Amino acid sequence: MPPEPIDLIATLSDRAHNGKLTLPVLPIVAIELLASVDDDDCDARSLAERVQRDPSLAAHVLRIANSARFAPKEPIVSLTQAIGRLGMGTLREIVISVVVKGSVFKVKGHEEYVEKLWDHALLSGRLAQEIARARRANVEAAFLCGLLHDIGAPVALQGLVDLCKETGFCLIERAMVQTIAGLHQEIGAKLIESWKLADWVYAAVRYHHQPEDAPNHRELVRTTALADALAYWLEEDEGEGLPPGMEHAADLELYEEDIQSVVERGSKVHAEAKANA
Amino acid sequence: MTERVHYDWVVIGAGPAGQKAAIQGAKDGVRVLVVDQGRAPGGECVNRGTIPSKTLRETAQHFAALERRSAGVLRCELSPDAQLAGLMLRLDEVRDAHARTLSEQLKRNGIDFQQSRARFVGERELELRTPAGAKTLVTGDKVFIAAGSRPRTPDDIPVDHELILDSDSILSLVYLPRSLVVLGAGVIAVEFASIFAALGVEVTIVDRYPLPIGFMDADLCTGFVRAFEGRGGRFLGSTKYRSVAPDGVGHVNVELETGEVLNVEKVLSALGRVANLRTLSLEATGLAPTERGHLAVDSHGQTQVPGIYACGDVVGPPALASTSMEQGRRAARHALGRPVPDEELGMVPCGIYTIPELGSVGLSEAQARERHGDVLVGRAAFKELARGMIQGADDGFLKLIADPTGTRILGCHVLGDGAAELVHLAEVAMLGGLPVEVFVERTFNFPTLAEAYRVAALDILALRRGDLRAAA
């Protein structure tokens, strides 16, 4: 007999509220790094020491430092050398990206979908960074919000996969996409809370589809929302036609030409980063 | 088709100058449109300038005063992860309230406000473009350019708003840096330098001139440097930078011409501001900026093109909120055909919100000596006043400058808490032509810092008597 139909969104939402949804745990090095955005206590040496504690992470960082993007004359063999070549900011971004991707953006059986989510997260981060630069707002905070805004999506997907395994349902794509769309903000916010990240990251993750509801950090939330919309536009429509997200432009005090240059710079940086990933 | 509208007046910019011009016109029955790039009136003053920096200063000042006034009993130290926003908790509240008041003021006076970027397409015809791209053509019988200014970024300083910031982006830092180099020693530079120093940041000011804020009385400049260095800051005067560049490991190297390299966490580039004229397409009006990038105007704010006025930062120094408001008001009155004084703004008091605060009105000692010869200078140290002792105002002083007969007040300069307020007393005395004696013969509240006037005036009277005795 086929199992009784269930409301996926309601069930998963209940699980998230009751603490029954498995939230990924980040390696300590990642938690420290996420908490240290723009924290001047986190200097080059301590960052190298932290990364060193995770050998696979260290190897990944060295691989990127030796990639074509940075084209070292001599091979880079140590993390300290890598920091010298990449710069602290870039290194911190690489480390954060690697650990978040490795810990959250992996769902067995849905690799292609999750990879797409990850590309979107990275592009949103780059665009948010450029929006912040154009507005003379905090660039690093914007990158982190852009990168993490949809972090609830892979967690929701993992939850769905687990739920289907338990109930014997077969997950169809439309239901999956709908459930993720309906729950990713809520679940992402739970995750950010459990990782004890700053309240501005929470606001961006929780309210990026309803910036007007954000109780605080509204400009950062709108920055994230605009980056999210622009990233989809570049990915789905290849930047054809008018850019979306203009409803945020007035609040962010950005005009068409500003958004145009944000898109150009963000896409360029993203393409470079992708080529070297 | 693009919509066309006509107003009696179009005001570009909703900062202090634009607001005052608009309100003055509206009160006289003129139909006014105010256009600003921002979403609400206020300009840079509300969003990135005066209001945010003064909100942070308020916290920094209390922080510095707490330790000083407790005579070292309380040691204050911010935790390394203290967020800058946490030190400006009331900022959103203050900013929203201020923006709301300004919006209501415009509404109450029947003034229309539009968030748009403006550019001239004719002498008194403008194209307005909203952030979403909608266009309107608007004509005005009179146009006021009050578009404000933005930080100047020299080509050799790679401002990225991450490691190297300007005065607009410095307050977007999430955490306080441990070390900061401030390039420049003008008003904005010294205000931020002293605020960050009071919050425990290692601050170094680098400037090509021997003293900061060179237009102020030299005693105020040296007094500021003494107080700043007393709080752990470092002032490198007569020093030029050779290069400014990220060091690749999260810090910035500032190489000086002396060969010294300062490796710091953040750099603030505060080397002046430039007028926001670039996007206005001024060529359509026949106007051109001066060599320094400002608009030339007469004492009524009139440009060379009849019917186009300019006021505020776009016309150049002093570019203070207070003078901008007055320029806006005067330009509007002239446009209305109302009486306006022919002379320049004349005596303008100046308040610099450093820690400690600086206030100034009238002539500096050097200017007074140049114009009047052997002027008499009376001084009062705050630490010798009851109120100053209570406040622990060790650095504070007031300096009163009188003409060589010791009668007419020519200038007053104050360093210390409330300096910007205190100088108004001298301003009113000067405007009223009151003699120095007025500060001796009148009663002041006790204990207040206003007593400094009495002490400084007595000093002048003593000098005067000494001079008379010497003459006899």
The CA–CA distances, whole Å, from B313 to B93, B296, B324, B386 equal 26, 12, 7, 40
Determine contact, residues A89/A110, Cβ cutoff 8 Å.
no
- Asked whether the beta carbons of residue B81 and residue A138 sit closer than 8 angstroms, the reply is no
**Helix A139-148 and helix A88-103, axial crossing angle in degrees, nearest 10:** 20
Quick one: which H or E segment has residue B196?
helix B187-198
- Tell me the pLDDT of chain B (472 aa) as tens digits: 688 999 999 999 999 999 999 999 999 999 999 999 998 887 666 667 677 788 888 888 887 777 777 666 776 676 655 667 666 667 777 777 888 888 999 999 999 999 999 999 999 999 999 998 999 999 999 999 999 999 999 999 999 988 899 998 998 887 788 899 999 999 999 999 999 999 889 999 999 999 999 999 999 999 999 999 998 999 999 999 999 998 876 789 999 999 999 999 899 999 999 999 999 999 999 999 999 999 999 989 999 999 999 999 999 988 888 889 999 999 999 999 998 876 666 688 999 999 999 999 999 999 999 999 999 999 999 999 999 998 888 899 999 999 999 999 999 999 999 999 999 999 999 999 999 999 999 999 999 999 999 999 999 999 998 865 555 5
Spatial contact of B384 and B455, defined as CB atoms under 8 Å apart? yes
The answer to whether the Cβ–Cβ distance between A256 and B131 falls below 8 Å is yes
Most B CBs within 10 Å, among A33, A37, A38, A76, to test the B interface: A38
Q: Which tokens sit at B64?
A: 């510095």
For tokens 């007569």, name the residue.
B238
Token readout for A130 is 């450029």
CB contact under 8 A, B132 and A43: no
* Contacts (Cβ under 8 Å, ≥6 apart) of B447: B385, B386, B387, B390
Q: From CA B395, how far away is CA B397, in angstroms rounded?
A: 7
Cα separation, A108 vs A101, whole angstroms: 14
Residues of B in contact with A251 (CB under 8 A): 39
Residue A209 near residue A175, CB atoms below 8 Å: no
Q: To the nearest whole angstrom, how far is the Cα of A139 from the nearest Cα of chain B?
A: 6
On the question of pLDDT at A241 being above 90, the answer is no
Determine contact, residues A275/A68, Cβ cutoff 8 Å. Answer: yes
Percent of chain B exceeding pLDDT 90 equals 72
In the predicted structure, residue A264 carries a pLDDT above the cut 60: yes
Q: Any CB–CB contact under 8 A between A141 and chain B? A: yes
pLDDT of residue B72: 67
Cα–Cα distance between B189 and B197 in angstroms, integer? 12
Judging contacts by C-beta atoms under 8 Å, the chain B residues touching residue A252 are: 131
Listed by number, the residues of chain B in 53-112 with a beta carbon closer than 8 Å to a beta carbon of chain A are: 80-81, 83, 92
pLDDT tens profile B126-150: 999 999 899 999 999 999 999 999 9
> Tell me, what's the pLDDT at A84?
66
Nearest to B131 among A87, A198, A254 (CB): A254
Q: Where are the beta strands (DSSP E) in B363-418?
A: 376-381, 397-402, 409-415
ipTM surpassing 0.85: no
A1-57 pLDDT, tens digit each: 555 556 777 888 888 878 778 888 776 766 666 665 445 555 666 667 777 777 777
Per DSSP (E only), the strands in B317-460 are 350-352, 358-362, 376-381, 397-402, 409-415
* Nearest CB to B39; choose among A86, A89, A251: A251
- pLDDT-based confidence at residue A238 (cuts at 50, 70, 90): confident
- Greatest Cα pair distance in chain B: 86
B373 Cβ neighbours under 8 A, 6+ residues apart = B404
Letter string b/e over residues B325-342, b meaning 16 or more CB atoms within 10 A of that residue's CB: bbbbbbbbbbbbeeebee
Q: Which helix (H) or strand (E) holds B203?
A: strand B202-206
A260 contacts in chain B (CB < 8 Å): none
Q: What pLDDT sits at residue A186?
A: 93
> Which residues, 6+ apart, have CB-to-CB distance to B211 below 8 Å?
B185, B218, B221, B222, B225, B237
Chain A interface includes B279 (CB < 8 A)? no
Out of B38, B169, B175, whose CB is closest to A253? B38
Note whether A33 and A50 are within 8 A (CB): yes
Q: Which band of pLDDT confidence, cut at 50, 70 and 90, is reported for residue A275? A: confident
Question: Phi/psi of residue A95, each to 5°?
Answer: -60, -45
Q: Which residues contact B471 (CB under 8 A, 6 or more apart)?
A: none
- Helix or strand or coil: residue B157? coil
Give the chain B residue nearest A36 (alpha carbons).
B81
Torsional sign, CA B317, B322, B328, B329: negative
**In A, which residues are within 8 Å of B115 by CB distance?**
250, 253
What separation in angstroms does the CA of B185 have from each of B209, B225, B231, B239, B299? 8, 11, 17, 11, 29
CB-based contact A39 B176, cutoff 8 Å = no
Residue A242 or B437, more confident: B437
Question: How many angstroms separate the CA atoms of A173 and A164, rounded?
Answer: 13
pLDDT of residue B89: 64
Q: Do A88 and B249 touch (CB under 8 A)?
A: yes
Give the separation between CA A115 and CA A111, rounded to whole angstroms: 6
Residues of B within 8 A of A246 (CB-CB) are: 131-133
Q: How many CB pairs under 8 A join A and B?
A: 93
CA B376 to each of CA B149, B278, B449, B459: distance values in angstroms, whole numbers, following the listed order: 39, 47, 21, 9
B246 to chain A: closest CA residue: A87
Q: In the prediction, which pLDDT does B466 show?
A: 81
- 3-class SS at B85? helix
Tokens of B453: 């006037």
How many whole angstroms separate alpha carbon B52 and alpha carbon B45?
Answer: 8
- The residue of chain A nearest to residue B265, with distances taken between CA atoms, is A40
Q: Per residue in A86-120, pLDDT tens?
A: 666 666 677 777 778 887 888 888 999 999 999 99
Confidence (pLDDT) at A43: 62
A85 interfacial to chain B (CB closer than 8 Å): yes
Tell if the CB–CB gap between B177 and A253 is shorter than 8 Å: no
Across the strands, what pairs with B204?
B181, B234
Give the pLDDT of residue A139: 86
The answer to whether the Cβ–Cβ distance between B250 and A136 falls below 8 Å is: no
DSSP B171: G
Query: What is the distance between the alpha carbons of residues B319 and B258, in angstroms, rounded to a whole number?
Result: 33
Residues of chain B with Cβ-Cβ distance to A140 below 8 Å are: 162, 174
Pick from B117, B163, B177: CB nearest A255: B117
CB of A223 within 8 Å of a chain B CB? The answer is no
Task: Collect all residues of chain B within an 8 Å Cβ-Cβ radius of residue A136.
Answer: 48, 161, 166, 168-169, 172
Neighbours of B377 (CB within 10 A): 20
